Structure 1
Amino acid sequence: MELLIGLLMNILGADLYDRCPRLARFLIRKAAARLPENKREAYAEEWSSHLADCDTKLDQLRHALGCWWSVGGILRTEPQPKRAYSLDAIIVGSGLTSVGSIGGAVMDAMAGAPWLYLMGYLFQIVPGIYVLILGIHMRLKQGRYMYI
């Protein structure tokens, strides 16, 4: 039984080793597809030409994995487009949070909670109201969206 398992594992390993170049080409295509359109072809051509220079099949796979990994660094150097955030959602969210915190504080105060316990609600209410006021101010000044 061990001989059969060993034979099957050897066949599987050899098959995987033979597929390394195909997997490397696939990884390079996918890595290039993640890049901005104006850089895709140049990087894909450079990486593919280097792939042909690799000595072994495992070196080709290692090179392709390095290309895949390097795309993240390349993308971080690119200027990213600004994202639009809805100020209405920020206003509604902070308003609901503040109202909920105030309601909880009032309920606890009516139940006879000590003042020190009620002071903890200030850490929820004050920032919520600040964001609410800031959101309303920005909404009136900048419009519906905030771009960051």
Structure 2
Amino acid sequence: MIWGILGGVLLSLLASELYDSCPRLTNLLLRSASCRLPAECRDRYWGEWMGELDSQGDLGKLRKLLWALWVFLCSWQMGRTLQSAVEQAKSLALEQSRKNPKRLSFREIIGRLVEFDVDGEEPLPPVGLERRAGAAIGGSPSEESRRRA
């Protein structure tokens, strides 16, 4: 009987401690998720995620923790998609630097490229990335990508 009461009290204390540590765990999950993204995109998405977390207001610590867990789980795919976009932007920057001396820098290209929303549901095919990157720098898709479309 005494062990049951003692066990109940200890489990209640443990649950309370876990509930109180939810904000720290939420920040840890979001920080880990941002580390999975390309370096060029980390600050932007960290700011967006923290803004989203703040906008959730009084929804509760557990719900915020579950949302952060969802972001963490989706960050692998988002990181791959963004890395593909970064690589595409780098190759476009190199191509533009060869063609046009009045070129945009890589930072300008990637800045314009990440302004577009990336769902994170599935990576864009190379043609889609080229079109997105071309639109970001004010260009048009190459003849090869028009033939593939």
Give the AA of the match of 1:75.
G
For structure 1, list consecutive stretches of 5 or more residues without a partner in the other structure: 82-148
For structure 2, list consecutive stretches of 5 or more residues without a partner in the other structure: 88-149
Please give the per-residue CA displacement for 1:64-85, whole angstroms capped at 9, x wherever unaligned. Answer: 101101111212323297xxxx
Alignment of 1:28-107 (within 5 A): 28-54=30-56, 55-77=59-81, 78-79=83-84
Give the AA of the match of 1:63.
W
Alignment of 1:109-120 (within 5 A): none
Residue 26 of structure 1 corresponds to: 28
Please give the per-residue CA displacement for 1:34-93, whole angstroms capped at 9, x wherever unaligned. Answer: 100111011111111111223100011011101101111212323297xxxxxxxxxxxx
TM-score (norm 2): 0.51
Distance 2:30 2:80 in 1: 19
Give the AA of the match of 2:62.
L
* 1:14 matched to 2:16: yes
The SS at the match of 2:16 is helix
TM-score (norm 1): 0.51
Q: What is the root-mean-square deviation in Å for CA atoms of aligned residues? A: 1.6
Distance 1:27 1:37 in 2: 17
Larger radius of gyration: 1
More relative contact order in 1 or in 2 (CA 8 Å, sep 6+)? 1
The SS at the match of 1:11 is helix
Percent identical among aligned pairs is 36
